[in-house]
Amino acid sequence: MINTIRSEWIKLRTVRMNFVLFILAVAFPVIVSVLVSSLVDLNDLKITDVAGTVTGSSVVTALLLGVVGAVSISAEFAHGTIRPTFAATPKRMRVLVSKAIVTALFAAVAEALVVIFCFTVSSAIATSRGAKLSLSDRPEARAALIGIVVFAVIVSLLGFGIGMVIRNTPAAVAVLILWPVVVENIIMAILSAAGVNNPQKFLPYISGFGLGNPNAPTSESLSRVTGGLYFGAVTAVVAMAGALITARRDA
């Protein structure tokens, strides 16, 4: 198992596209966090605002890490490199579990580094301008910074699961990106028009966004933990479906 994990890590870090996606995933939240901390009115700046800027911009990081997860498996099917992989390791589930572990760990480490760096730099800039910020008395902000890392791990595994199901890189990436941006917003609008109260509670991706919310949840949304578990459960279903499909279908 260790050798399989090592092999998958080598694949992940040697693909040039993954390196480009990682650079974009790091650059966007850093630029946004620095600009906001440098330009925002200090009278309106709170620690929850700093945390919200970091977690909000880090959603883009999570989506790009999800793309890495999708590409890590779909590209192998597209280029036929999955065949020698399965030939070397006939137990397909071992390969898929190894890929999932590498994908999740990469997402966790990358997102954690981004969050720590952005929050540290943003706080330093705001403090140098005279703002008084303290994270110790804001448990919601601390939970949000941790939650967005969990969100990134879930999204990366969701991308991996979608990649196993669809096996086409452009289609898998499109589904991963359009699901929260378009599909769930359309569903929410339809449910609202049908008279459903708080329809966002029924939408997994939107519920997952609550993991990075620096403010206390309201009655209109699921709690941070419940929303994360809901999103994680949907992701697990997609990943398990993809694993079963991959185990039974020809590569």
Stretch 193-202: mean pLDDT? 83
Question: Percent of the chain at pLDDT above 70?
Answer: 97
Contact 38, 125 (CB under 8 A): yes
pLDDT computed for residue 165 by the predictor = 92
The string of DSSP letters for 56-112 reads HHHHHHHHHHHHHHHHHHHHHHHHTTHHHHHHHS--HHHHHHHHHHHHHHHHHHHHH
Tell me the C-alpha distance between 30 and 36, whole Å. Answer: 10
Residue 194 has pLDDT above 80, yes or no: yes
For residue 122, what are its two tokens? 């943003």
Stretch among 8-12, 96-100, 156-160, 166-170 having the lowest mean pLDDT: 8-12
φ and ψ of 22, to 5 deg: -65, -45
Instruction: Write out pLDDT tens, residues 87-106.
Output: 777 788 888 899 999 999 99
Tell me the C-alpha distance between 69 and 251, whole Å. Answer: 18
DSSP 221: S
Average predicted confidence (pLDDT) for the chain: 86
Contact 234, 176 (CB under 8 A): no
pLDDT computed for residue 64 by the predictor = 94
List all residues 6 or more positions away from 50 whose beta carbon is below 8 Å from its beta carbon.
37, 119, 122, 123, 126, 133, 141
Phi-psi domain of 97 (left: phi exceeds 0; alpha: psi -120 through 50; beta: other): alpha
Amino acid in position 99:
K
pLDDT computed for residue 212 by the predictor = 87
Quick count: other Cβ atoms within 10 Å of Cβ 147? 24
pTM score over 0.85: yes
Tell me the C-alpha distance between 61 and 145, whole Å. Answer: 13
